[in-house]
Amino acid sequence: MFRQVRIVQRQWNLQRIFWRDSTNDPIGEYWLKVVTYGMTSSAFNAVRAAILCARDAAKDHSDASKVIENDLYMDDCATGSRNESEAIRFAKDIDHILKGGGFEMKKWKSNSKILVEEMRSEEEEPLFMFVDEEKASVLGLRWKVNQDQFTFMVKTPELEGVITKRKILGCVAQLYDPNGFISPVTILGKIIIQDLWRIGLDWDEPVPEEISIRFKNYWQDIGRLEEFTLDRWIATDIDKETETHGFSDASTMAYGAVIYIRVVQENGQVKITLLTSKTRVAPMKTITVPRLELAAAELLSRLLVYVIKEMEFTKVDYTLWTDSQVVLHWIKKIPRNLKTFVANKVASIQTNTDVKKWRYVNTKDNPADLLSRGMSPSENIHNHLWLQGPDWLSLTPQCVFLPNTVGEAEVEVRAFAVTEFVEPIRITTRANIYRVPLIEYVDKLNRAIDIVAYLFKFISNLKVHLAVRRSKRRETLHIVPDNDHRAQAMKYLLRQEQVQCYNN
Q: What average pLDDT does the structure give for the chain?
A: 85
Question: Does the pLDDT at position 463 exceed 70?
Answer: yes
Does 295 lie in the same domain as 348?
Answer: yes
187 close to 281: Cβ distance less than 8 angstroms: yes
Please say if the pLDDT value at position 496 is more than 80.
Answer: yes
Per-residue pLDDT band for 459 (boundaries 50, 70, 90) equals confident
Same domain, residue pair 359 and 460 = no
CATH number at residue 355: 3.10.20.370
366 and 425, same structural domain? no
361 and 457 both lie in a single domain: no
In a domain, 319, yes or no: yes
Band of the pLDDT at 66, cuts 50, 70, 90? very high
Residue-range definition of the domain harbouring residue 322: 233-396
Domain match, 387 and 255 both? yes
pLDDT of residue 94: 93
Q: Which of 108-122, 243-257, 264-278, 405-419 has the highest mean pLDDT?
A: 243-257
Cβ pair 60, 87 in contact under 8 A = no
What pLDDT sits at residue 478?
63
Q: Is the confidence at residue 394, as pLDDT, over 90? A: no
Is residue 350 domain-shared with residue 457, that is, in the same domain? no
Chain segment 214-262, per-residue pLDDT in tens: 999 999 899 899 899 999 888 887 667 899 999 999 999 999 999 999 9
Whether 142 is covered by a domain: the verdict is: no
In a domain, 139, yes or no: no
Q: What is the pLDDT of residue 388?
A: 93
Q: Is residue 376 domain-resident?
A: yes
Instruction: Name the domain boundary from 96, 124, 152.
Output: 124
Tell me whether residue 213 is in a domain.
no
Give how far the C-alpha of residue 171 lies from the chain's centroid of Cα atoms, to the nearest Å: 26
Q: Strand 28-31 relative to strand 16-19: parallel, antiparallel, unpaired?
A: antiparallel
What distance in Å separates the CA atoms of residue 71 and residue 322, rounded to the nearest whole number?
32
User: Is the per-residue pLDDT at 372 higher than 70?
Assistant: yes
Whether 259 and 293 share a structural domain: yes
Element (H, E) at 369: helix 368-373
Rounded to whole angstroms, the Cα distance separating 48 from 60 reads 20
> Is it true that the peptide bond before 367 is cis, omega within 30 degrees of 0?
no
Which of 124, 157, 187 corresponds to the end of one domain?
Answer: 124
Residue 156: predicted pLDDT: 74
Instruction: Tell which of 81, 102, 124 closes a domain.
Output: 124
| 183 Cα distance to chain centroid | 12
- 46, pLDDT greater than 70: yes
Residues 298 and 421 in one domain: no
Assign 313 a pLDDT band (cuts: 50, 70, 90).
confident
161 in a domain, yes or no? no
Q: How many structural domains are present in the chain?
A: 3
Q: Is residue 41 scored above 80 in pLDDT?
A: yes
User: Does residue 423 carry a pLDDT above 50?
Assistant: no
- Per-residue pLDDT, 125: 57
Smallest CA-to-CA distance from 323 within 405, 406, 249 is with 249
| Residue 309 and residue 451 in one domain | no
Residues 255 and 356 in one domain: yes
Question: What's the pLDDT score for residue 129?
Answer: 42
Domain assignment of residue 175, yes or no: no
**Together in a domain, 439 and 341:** no
Neighbours of 187 (CB within 10 A): 25
Instruction: Please write the tens of the pLDDT for every residue from 107-144.
Output: 888 888 899 888 887 666 554 444 445 678 777 788 88
Rounded to whole angstroms, the Cα distance separating 96 from 281 reads 46
Residue 297 inside a domain? The answer is yes
Residue 79, CB half-sphere, CA atoms under 13 Å: how many?
A: 24
Per-residue pLDDT averaged across 393-402, rounded?
A: 57
Of the candidate ranges 32-41, 273-282, 298-307, the one whose mean pLDDT is the lowest: 32-41
> What pLDDT score was predicted for residue 120?
82
Give percent above pLDDT 90 in the chain. Answer: 53
Highest mean pLDDT, choosing among 82-86, 92-96, 464-468: 92-96
Residues 253 and 370 in one domain: yes
